[in-house]
Chain A
């Protein structure tokens, strides 16, 4: 099975699905939705089957394929996954069908008062499938140029989703999103192209002897420190915008507020992860020296993002904006973990990307359910919902608790690992970041109290609890969050070897404990 181009098939399937979708007659809306759901389920199942064949103890990149794409320019269609990429792809393909199911009526013409006149149901679902293809591609690419292509390709469906299916100020938000992303992308493009002549240099000059964009070759280069710093910055700024980090984060709250809730799951849950994934994979491994050089400043930005995002979240009046700001705080933790460069912190960061996708995804989906009922995401438009919709309130609470990293739910494990791993090398950063656990309790529980607690406000009276479809959307995510809260090891087992590779490349070793030895067998007491 190893020779079969599984990853290409995984990228191709949703694309073909999107094309076939366009061929379905416009009136057959239900068929469009069912077909989209079917395609995404097949992709998810197939990915699961592929993932089952992944050998955590085996080669770093598996399911590799490599074909010439633009030979004159040294560009390959090269795919392959390591543990981190695989888990992120798995997360993406699990989220897509749930998003499609949750967005069942998102594009319907009967949607609501502020719905634009021209909205095509099938375009919406075709865009979601296109986005899925790009998401798989961006994590699977092992050619840096191909990665860049997928990186930019993701923008297109998202731009149209926000711009055509978003809220009242959708075009403003869409343009802001696009410009920020394009700007970052351009910086990265400059850096990517710059790599080509560097790689063409002889091995003695730090190159590999021929022009290439293959990641495994580029990561063996020995770039001179000054150049490496500039290239690092090109990549890093692009990823910092994508993630996003303070102070280039302001596009996200606007995009979040205007975007349909379902698509938002993919924007914040998956797209933004490309930023932190990129830092872990490309910044660190292509420019290890420059990464270490930049570490103190990056950690400072990460800590500021953690605290700043959390404080901003407390001050929000719109739930989608609020969750967007919590994500800025969470991305801060991921960046902290990536750059602390200990195995605990980096495995924690990689796991955090997955956990955050499900946790924040659940929050956005439930907020989406609330918006469908109330036509508003404003906190003050709700109140006392737990009385009329206890199941909705319960799932909202669980999702919220996962977002504040309650032990027993998956995000705790990753946040804890990041803090412990960061502490062992940069005590100040870990201590400063920990204030976020108090702020997180405030923003989540205060939001819960104002929307679900208190006396039931008239506008909420008679609201329906979750429908069967909505329960099918949210139950799998909550099951994953709980299961990975108690059993994170199977995922960590897959992630750890990739992280070890990265750490070996940057030549960082975990600090040794101050006091050693005397470890009683098995921790046994007398």
Chain B
């Protein structure tokens, strides 16, 4: 659609559709407001006291008239509803190949983990034209992830994953806002979303996102691991494999997690649940609420042990467990170490980044915006300029 004054950049697949609907609604508003306004003013002027006009046979009810102005708005309303619902479902129809990015919100910053291991704070770098799926959770209160140029937002709640998907269509730098009131520095909880050309993005990813983009960002000595790799090491550290040995052939103490993601699980109390991100998280935190049919409940709770960030990492690893040919075939895979036996679906092998595409080439840099006393820095970062107030 054409450029209209004040119209912010439409930078996602979704934005164009929303704007079209928006301006149709504007047209409807103008139409109805002026219809009502002009009619009532014209009538009032014509029938103002002292004006000599025909006032004979005034009517005070007319059912046909009532129906004729009740029914069209109903259909108009339903029309708008269907159109908007159709657009809305897009945000849920996540394509298979969507690039998954994990977002943890906390008072008052955004922490973002890419699946290739790059982590950033208050910034998000994504390549143009590639569908992106955000999986988000909060560590404290409710926040909301909002990028006006994408015309999208979603609340980020504690205790529950929320997600949405979009495809950025225009390169540029866009505001990232927290749009759910979350306390004192709500208005400073944000930063920028960089939509980069594919080439730029590759460069950025290869360098581990090392451009000094975040305020006060300091390179970290650790790191270099992808999300899945971090998950794998946590899997070992917390001895998940003692019950869920990915390589085991015979029945272990817990069910095998290989190929679990996306399956439907039958629970002992008759419920059926889909093994999605939320399920994986909840099982870790509240295993007893998910008594898997055929298994005695014996899984400990990791509530208070694993942080939300770590859960995201473990989940990335669990999701990567796909059955290998070797396993489904001969079934002699025992003995291999937990992390190495099944080939994780992402190309990042734990032994190193050799041969991995640039996209997943491991970030070496972990950026941490200092948490306290960042008022002014953060203000400058989000809005530019100096803060005068206070």
A, B: real partners? no
Chain A interface residues (CB < 8 Å from chain B): none
